[in-house]
C-alpha cells in the first residue's frame, strides 16, 4: 500500500488479489449480514463503527451466527473483492482484479483444523476434481496467471468458480449472483475503514 500511495506502480500495472470462493457462501459457509450488524444495539446504526470493528477484529462473530473459523475467513475475503473494486475506481492507470484460486484441500490450510474436517478434506482431495469441488495447487496458481491476461474492462472484477462449485472455469461475479460483493455502499465504507486503520490514503 505504501508503494501504491507513493505512486510507485508503473503505468498499466496489474494487481492480482487473492480472493476466495468462500466469499460466495454457496458451499457450507455462513455470511455476515451487514444490515443486521449495523442495526445491532452495540453499533446503533453506525456503519463506520461496524467496519472499524471488523478491521480491528473487535466484532463478536458468534453474536451474528458465525461460530466457525471457515466462515470468518470467508467473510474477510469479501473485503478483498471490495478492496479490488474500490481501488479500480481510484487508479485507472493500473488494473486490480480479485481472483478465487479455488479449493486445494491438500495444502497446509487445514493443519490446525479438527480431525473430522481434515479427514473430510482428504476425501474431497480424492474425489473433488471429479465433482468440481477441488483441484491441485498448480491449477490454483494458474488462475492467478490467467487473470494477468484479462482485458481492462475487468478492472475491479471478482473472478470466482461456477455457482455452487470450488473448481471449474472461472467467471466474473455478477450483482445477481453475489449482491453483497457488488454493494457500492459496503465497498466504500470498507475501503474507508481500511484507510483509517492503515493511515494510508490510496
3-state secondary structure the chain: CHHHHCCCCCCCCEEEEECCHHHHCCCCCCCCCHHHHHHCCCCCCCHHHHHHHHHCCCCCHHHHCCCCHHHHHHHHHHHHHHHHHHHHHHCCCCEEEEECCCCCCCCHHHCCCCHHHHHHHHHHHHHHHHHCCCCCHHHHHHHHHHHCCCCHHHCCCEEECCCCCCCCCCEECCCCCCCCCCCHHHHHHHHHHHHHHHCCCC
Which residue range forms the structural domain that includes residue 31?
A: 11-196
Say yes or no to pLDDT of 198 above 60: yes
pLDDT of residue 115: 76
pLDDT of residue 110: 62
Flag whether 4 is in a domain: no
What's the predicted TM-score (pTM) here?
0.86
Flag whether 2 is in a domain: no
pLDDT tens per residue across span 108-157: 666 666 777 677 767 766 776 677 778 888 999 999 999 999 999 999 99
Radius of gyration for the alpha carbons in the chain, expressed in angstroms and rounded: 17
Flag whether 27 is in a domain: yes
Q: Number of structural domains, the chain?
A: 1
Flag whether 153 is in a domain: yes
Amino acid at each position: 500500500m505504501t508503494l501504491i500511495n507513493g505512486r510507485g506502480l508503473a503505468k498499466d500495472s496489474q494487481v492480482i488479489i487473492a480472493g476466495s470462493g468462500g466469499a460466495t457462501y454457496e458451499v457450507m459457509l455462513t455470511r455476515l449480514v451487514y444490515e443486521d450488524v449495523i442495526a445491532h444495539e452495540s453499533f446503533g446504526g453506525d456503519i463506520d463503527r461496524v467496519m472499524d470493528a471488523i478491521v480491528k477484529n473487535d466484532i463478536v462473530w458468534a453474536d451474528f451466527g458465525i461460530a466457525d473459523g471457515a466462515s470468518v475467513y470467508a467473510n474477510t475475503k469479501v473485503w478483498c473483492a471490495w478492496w479490488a473494486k474500490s481501488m479500480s475506481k481510484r487508479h485507472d492507470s493500473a488494473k486490480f482484479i480479485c481472483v478465487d484460486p479455488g479449493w486445494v484441500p491438500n495444502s497446509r490450510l487445514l493443519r490446525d483444523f479438527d480431525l473430522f474436517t481434515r479427514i473430510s478434506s482428504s476425501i474431497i482431495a480424492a474425489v473433488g476434481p471429479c465433482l468440481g469441488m477441488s483441484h491441485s495447487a498448480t491449477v490454483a496458481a494458474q488462475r492467478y496467471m490467467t487473470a494477468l491476461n484479462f482485458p481492462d474492462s475487468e478492472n475491479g472484477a471478482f473472478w470466482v468458480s461456477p455457482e455452487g462449485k470450488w473448481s471449474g472455469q472461472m467467471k466474473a461475479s455478477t450483482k445477481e449472483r453475489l449482491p453483497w460483493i457488488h454493494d457500492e455502499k459496503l465497498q466504500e465504507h470498507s475501503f474507508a475503514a481500511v484507510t483509517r486503520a492503515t493511515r494510508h490514503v490510496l
